[in-house]
């Protein structure tokens, strides 16, 4: 039994196929199709979903909301994510550990608890336990995130058939629904001309922008740009800081001050989220806070939509910049686009629609927003069928190794961003390979770092594209030993990278002349 799983910062969904092959969201016993992405670790065990979500503000110290935000190495988590967390995040051997009131939890364990809950929901509705799954991940998710998601699902007994980027899943579902007539207002061009479509996925925790060519037969992604810490959650924190400043005279102190319990700060954050959701539908929103909830006073203010958009302006400009970057990477102009899709739970927040429309030279009413919360889950389950064979995705970030050029250590790029996936396998013709020599004569081993670069430059080893290892994330370390250089000479060797359709890296090194080979032995950091 195959299911599609889409887990975001705020909600999680599971999809399946009906008897006619059409995707649908699997509901729980009450008909609800979105499971709140909250896991509570209490003194009597683990709870997932609606119950923990209802008591989230009071139970923040023992609850994890959106564990995917913490799926990384500790050093890769932004300082803002560490400050905003309601619980301490510890560095345990380079891995983040969530120090909750009653337990210390690895983020992937909480992520796995959400997967297990969705599997139980699917089994209860479908009458059969799922055995296989396709899971979505943010397009901006780095390689380690993908490895941890796969491990979390496999720990629940699932065979992971595939990982799929969330915007690519939305595109796949959109193509399927448009060609099957399920979206009567959406018509793809004739087969002779693929449609050029942009999808802007503003989720709870991330924003990803992908450009793709869609036809009745294929979905070919041209480029992707994203930010893993720019979503509805981050927009709400910007509004929270502004609300705290506005309410300071009434409260008599800073509600976000790091003193004692974070209940007041998190209560204000919850109020900011609610206000932004209200402003998506109404020109004004009322914020009323009760002194009994830890605020010290009864606090009251009214926020207008234009004020909220001004508060969010810096983040909205970042979203616009991602749209422009995706266009540049795809080498296309906004005027060439046939459609712009706006999806994700954060896509309805104030200013998002107008920002995306302006970035692509359109009016807000020109953007299409079909079932924004369902498309990614639909695309996940479709990706596990023959429909998924039409998807051709690309790599998100450039990958390479550390290498000395003279006395300067730089990133030596091997696989550029935007490379079609999967790449040719190790040893195949066309595989991404670069040649190197050891730094010193008679050197018999080489310590290499596998690097990933998320910055704005296009990495090169000369000119303005030079990137130092300190600007990169280290995916893993790699020791190529047992080299046999001629006496007094440097040992030549090659490094080959392969990225599979899940975005997971495989690699090999081979000493030239001897055939001495090392494959797949990276120690992931």
Q: Which pairing describes strands 2-7 and 45-48: parallel, antiparallel, or unpaired?
A: unpaired
Q: Which pairing describes strands 2-7 and 11-17: parallel, antiparallel, or unpaired?
A: antiparallel
* CA distances in angstroms from 334 to 255, 325, 347, 447, 513, listed in the order given: 43, 11, 20, 44, 50
Confidence of residue 217 (pLDDT cuts 50, 70, 90): confident
CA distance 278 to 348: 10
Q: What is the pLDDT of residues 139-173, one digit of tens each?
A: 999 888 999 999 999 999 999 999 999 999 999 99
Name which of 42, 41, 44, 203 is nearest 113 in CA terms: 41
Return the SS3 of 325.
helix
Tokens, residue 40: 């509570």
- Predicted confidence (pLDDT) at residue 94 exceeds the cutoff of 60: yes
- The radius of gyration of the chain's CA atoms, rounded to the nearest angstrom, is 24
Residue 58 and residue 46 in contact, taking contact as beta carbons nearer than 8 Å:
no
Q: What is the pLDDT of residues 23-36, one digit of tens each?
A: 999 999 999 999 99
Residue 308 and residue 275 in contact, taking contact as beta carbons nearer than 8 Å:
yes
- Predicted confidence (pLDDT) at residue 265 exceeds the cutoff of 60: yes
Distance, C-alpha 146 to centroid of its chain: 9
Q: Which pLDDT score, from 0 to 100, does residue 189 have?
A: 58
Tokens, residue 417: 């961003």
Q: Which pLDDT score, from 0 to 100, does residue 143 have?
A: 87
Query: By mean pLDDT, which of 33-47, 177-191, 291-305, 355-369 is the weakest?
Result: 177-191
Burial zone of 343 (CB within 10 Å; 0-12 exposed, 13-18 middle, 19+ buried): buried
Q: Which pLDDT score, from 0 to 100, does residue 59 have?
A: 85
Peptide bond between residue 422 and the one before it cis (omega within 30 degrees of 0): yes
Residue 356 and residue 366 in contact, taking contact as beta carbons nearer than 8 Å:
no
Confidence of residue 337 (pLDDT cuts 50, 70, 90): very high
Residue 199 and residue 138 in contact, taking contact as beta carbons nearer than 8 Å:
no
Q: Which pLDDT score, from 0 to 100, does residue 293 have?
A: 57
Confidence of residue 70 (pLDDT cuts 50, 70, 90): very high
Name which of 445, 452, 457, 446 is nearest 414 in CA terms: 452
Confidence of residue 210 (pLDDT cuts 50, 70, 90): very high
Q: Which pLDDT score, from 0 to 100, does residue 486 have?
A: 86
CA distance 289 to 307: 19
| Location of structure tokens 């051709």 | 392
Return the SS3 of 486.
coil
Q: What is the pLDDT of residues 192-208, one digit of tens each?
A: 688 899 999 999 999 99
The mean pLDDT of 355-365, rounded to a whole number, is 96
Q: What is the pLDDT of residues 220-242, one digit of tens each?
A: 999 999 999 999 999 999 999 99
The mean pLDDT of 422-429, rounded to a whole number, is 90
- Predicted confidence (pLDDT) at residue 283 exceeds the cutoff of 80: yes
The mean pLDDT of 486-496, rounded to a whole number, is 91
Helix ranges (H only) for 331-449 are 352-359, 375-383
Beta-carbon contacts of residue 22 (< 8 Å; ≥ 6 apart): 180, 182
- Predicted confidence (pLDDT) at residue 525 exceeds the cutoff of 70: no
352-358 long-range contacts (CB < 8 A, ≥24 apart) are 352/202, 352/316, 352/319, 354/309, 355/316, 355/317, 355/319, 355/320, 356/200, 356/319, 356/320, 356/323, 358/320
Q: Which pLDDT score, from 0 to 100, does residue 520 have?
A: 74
Q: What is the pLDDT of residues 468-482, one digit of tens each?
A: 999 998 888 888 999
Q: Is the dihedral of CA 187, 216, 139, 66 positive or negative?
A: positive
Beta strands per DSSP E along 331-472:
339-343, 391-392, 399-405, 408-415, 432-437, 445-452
* CA distances in angstroms from 242 to 205, 288, 306, 366, listed in the order given: 20, 15, 13, 31
- Predicted confidence (pLDDT) at residue 260 exceeds the cutoff of 60: no
H/E element holding 66?
Answer: none
H/E element holding 237?
Answer: helix 232-251
* CA distances in angstroms from 497 to 149, 287, 325, 361, 422, listed in the order given: 21, 53, 25, 38, 11
- Predicted confidence (pLDDT) at residue 190 exceeds the cutoff of 60: no
- Predicted confidence (pLDDT) at residue 292 exceeds the cutoff of 60: no
Distance, C-alpha 447 to centroid of its chain: 30
Percent of the chain with pLDDT over 70: 95
**Which structural domains are found in the chain, ordered by start?**
2-164 (3.30.420.40), 167-229+316-372+386-392 (3.30.420.40), 232-311 (3.90.640.10), 399-524 (2.60.34.10)
- Predicted confidence (pLDDT) at residue 420 exceeds the cutoff of 60: yes
366 phi/psi in degrees, rounded to 5: -80, -15
CA distance 338 to 335: 8
Instruction: Using alpha carbons only, give the angle 141, 75, 84 rounded to the nearest 5 degrees.
Output: 80
């Amino acid at each position: 039994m195959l299911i599609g799983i889409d887990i975001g910062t705020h909600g999680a969904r599971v999809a399946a196929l009906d008897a006619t092959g059409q995707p649908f969201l699997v509901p729980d016993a009450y008909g609800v199709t979105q499971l709140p992405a909250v896991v509570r670790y209490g003194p009597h065990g683990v709870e997932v979903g609606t119950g923990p979500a209802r008591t989230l503000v009071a139970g923040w110290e023992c609850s994890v909301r959106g564990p995917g935000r913490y799926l990384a190495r500790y050093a890769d988590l932004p300082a803002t994510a560490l400050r905003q967390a309601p619980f301490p995040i510890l560095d345990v051997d380079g891995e983040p550990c969530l120090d909750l009131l009653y337990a210390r939890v690895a983020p992937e364990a909480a992520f796995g608890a959400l997967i297990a809950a969705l599997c139980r929901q699917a089994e209860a509705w479908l009458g059969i336990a799922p055995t296989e799954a396709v899971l979505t991940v943010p397009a901006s998710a780095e390689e380690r995130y993908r490895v941890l998601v796969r491990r979390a699902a496999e720990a629940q007994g699932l065979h992971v058939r595939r990982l799929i980027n969330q915007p690519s899943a939305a595109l796949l579902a959109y193509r399927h629904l448009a060609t099957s007539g399920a979206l009567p207002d959406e018509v793809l061009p004739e087969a002779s001309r693929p449609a050029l479509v942009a999808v802007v996925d503003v989720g709870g925790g991330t924003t990803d922008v992908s450009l793709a060519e869609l036809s009745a037969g294929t979905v070919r992604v041209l480029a992707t740009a994203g930010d893993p810490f720019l979503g509805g959650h981050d927009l709400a924190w910007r509004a929270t800081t502004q609300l705290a400043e506005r309410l300071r005279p009434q409260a008599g102190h800073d509600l976000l001050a790091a003193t004692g319990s974070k209940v007041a700060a998190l209560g204000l954050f919850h109020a900011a989220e609610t206000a932004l959701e209200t402003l998506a539908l109404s020109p004004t929103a009322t914020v009323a806070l009760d002194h009994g909830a830890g605020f010290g006073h009864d606090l009251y203010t009214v926020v207008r939509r234009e004020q909220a958009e001004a508060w969010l302006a810096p983040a909205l400009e970042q979203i616009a910049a991602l749209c422009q970057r995706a266009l540049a990477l795809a080498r296309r102009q906004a005027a060439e686009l046939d459609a712009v899709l706006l999806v994700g739970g954060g896509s309805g927040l104030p200013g998002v629609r107008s920002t995306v429309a302006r970035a692509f030279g359109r009016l807000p009413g020109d953007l299409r927003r079909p079932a924004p919360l369902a498309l990614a889950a639909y695309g996940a389950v479709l990706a596990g069928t023959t429909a998924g064979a039409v998807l051709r995705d690309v790599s998100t970030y450039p990958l390479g190794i550390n290498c000395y050029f003279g006395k300067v250590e730089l990133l030596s790029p091997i696989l550029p961003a935007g490379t079609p996936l999967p790449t040719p396998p190790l040893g195949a013709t066309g595989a991404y390979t670069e040649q190197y020599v050891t730094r010193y004569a008679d050197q018999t081993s080489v310590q290499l770092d596998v690097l990933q670069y998320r910055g704005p430059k296009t990495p090169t080893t000369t000119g303005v594209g030079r990137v130092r290892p300190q600007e990169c994330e280290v995916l893993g370390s790699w020791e190529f030993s047992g080299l046999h250089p001629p006496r007094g000479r440097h040992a030549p060797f090659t490094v080959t990278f392969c990225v599979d359709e899940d975005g997971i890296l495989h690699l090999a090194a081979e000493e030239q002349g001897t055939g001495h080979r090392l494959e797949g032995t990276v120690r992931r950091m």
